[in-house]
Amino acid sequence: MNAGIDKNQLKFPSTAQKSIWHTSQFMSPFYEIDPPGVNDNLIGFIRKGEKEFYQFMKDLYLHMYHNTENYYIPTTDYDTYMKGRKRHELPHKNDSRECTLRNRFQHAIKFYQDFLYEIGRHGDIDRESSRLILSEDKFADIRQRLKTHKKSCEIYSYINALNSTGFGYKKQDDMICFFNKKYPGMFHGLSLLAKSRNKKYGYTCFLLSDYRGILNSFELGFNDTVFILNNNYKKTASELHGYMKQIGAKLKIKPMRHTLLTSFWKLQYTKNVKAVCSMHIDINKLNIFLNFNRTKNISNMGYLLKKSYSELYDWFYDHMKTMECSCKNNRNVDFGGKRKRICGLMNRIEIYNPGTEDLEKIKNVLTLYHSWK
């Protein structure tokens, strides 16, 4: 992205603009992919369309970031309510007012992603003009589905906001014709992404503008998730990933359903069909969770560490999250003679933004646990 919305940015005019920035940073590098079985005469149009739609999305996020009012994205109500507080600092964990105000700007941002996805999925490319053609009935159905984001009377205003990026549409008989003056071939790229038959990662790759997702067999890999991560945490994540491969753990990457401010990559490592470790990866955040599956395992691990590895025991105990809830899964667990209330469903320790020393302790705990198990 251009200046003012780069990866290293730390300060933002509003939380809404930070969410736009977050979405823009999750875009993948550009990959040119030729769809299998396509006529050679169309390959040139498709390659051009892939580049144009990719650039269109970069331009859209940049323009949206600097012109939020043009896209009907509210920027003041949420920050006025939060008064500089983080979500975890609010008096109530599930603050309905915070959630409502956050949804307002996040739904506004997501509207444009969903609108483009829907017209790309249901429309057809006119080969002569490279425009996207959609029946009036299909367009009406799309507007109805998008009402979850906005009121029906607002939808046309939101769509017309895209005019600033060259995007437009007009009615021809009983059809709607979509075009772009700046990127006339972009609908080839849009259509490819939206019509992907990759059931697992097709929609995720649409959000990332990653054309590899048009291949049915494509699977996102570890390197695709750490692409967004800052260099310090990328090194930590890579070392832990290498360790997990060494002990024979299998990686499962969960698909993304959105790329807004609260979104992150979820990586789950399993061994013998049981959860071992998971990583949550964001741009400037890396959270690591070590799974023990049963409360009894955590208690036994605590006693093992207390007996032979006192420093590691203190670290282990400190990273076991205390749960104050009164639900039936809350457990008062003995960790080597010290007790703590934890969630009996999660049975894990949590390490947020680990440093070098944390990484060594993580590997030591995993080694001891799996040699003992």
Please write the tens of the pLDDT for every residue from 173-226: 999 999 999 999 999 999 999 999 999 999 999 999 999 999 999 999 999 999
Say if residue 38 is in the same domain as residue 89.
Answer: yes
User: What's the pLDDT at 325?
Assistant: 74
Q: Where are the alpha helices (DSSP H) in the chain?
A: 15-25, 40-66, 77-82, 96-122, 136-145, 152-160, 186-194, 202-208, 222-226, 231-246, 295-308, 310-318, 356-372
Structure confidence by residue, pLDDT tens digits, 229-275? 999 999 999 999 999 999 999 999 999 999 999 999 999 999 999 99
Per-residue pLDDT reduced to its tens digit, 164-185: 999 999 999 999 999 999 999 9
Q: How far is the C-alpha of 212 from the C-alpha of 226, rounded, in Å?
A: 17
**What value does the mean pLDDT of the chain take?**
93
Q: What pLDDT does 60 receive?
A: 97
**350 has pLDDT over 80:** yes
Domain boundary pick from 195, 214, 233: 214
Domain encompassing residue 154 = 15-214
Q: Does residue 238 share a domain with residue 98? A: no
Per residue, the 3-state secondary structure of 53-79, as one string, reads: HHHHHHHHHHHHHHCHHHHCCCCCHHH
Q: Are residues 79 and 172 in the same domain?
A: yes
Tell me, yes or no, whether 228 and 207 share the same domain: no
Choose one of 214, 243, 271: the last residue of a domain: 214
pLDDT score at 1: 42
Does 260 lie in the same domain as 128? no
pLDDT in tens, 125-156: 998 899 999 999 999 999 988 986 556 568 89
Residues 16-56: pLDDT tens digits? 999 999 999 999 999 999 998 888 888 999 999 999 999 99
Q: Tokens 């500089």 correspond to what residue?
A: 84
266 contacts 254 by C-beta, under 8 angstroms = yes
Does residue 25 sit in the same domain as residue 124? yes
Q: What pLDDT score does 5 carry? A: 74
- Flag whether the pTM goes above 0.75: yes
- Do 201 and 286 belong together in one domain? no
Residue 228 sits in the same domain as residue 199: no
Confidence bin at 158 (pLDDT 50/70/90): very high
State how many domains the chain has.
Answer: 2
Same domain, 44 and 162: yes
Average pLDDT over residues 304-308: 92
Residue 303 vs residue 346, higher pLDDT: 303
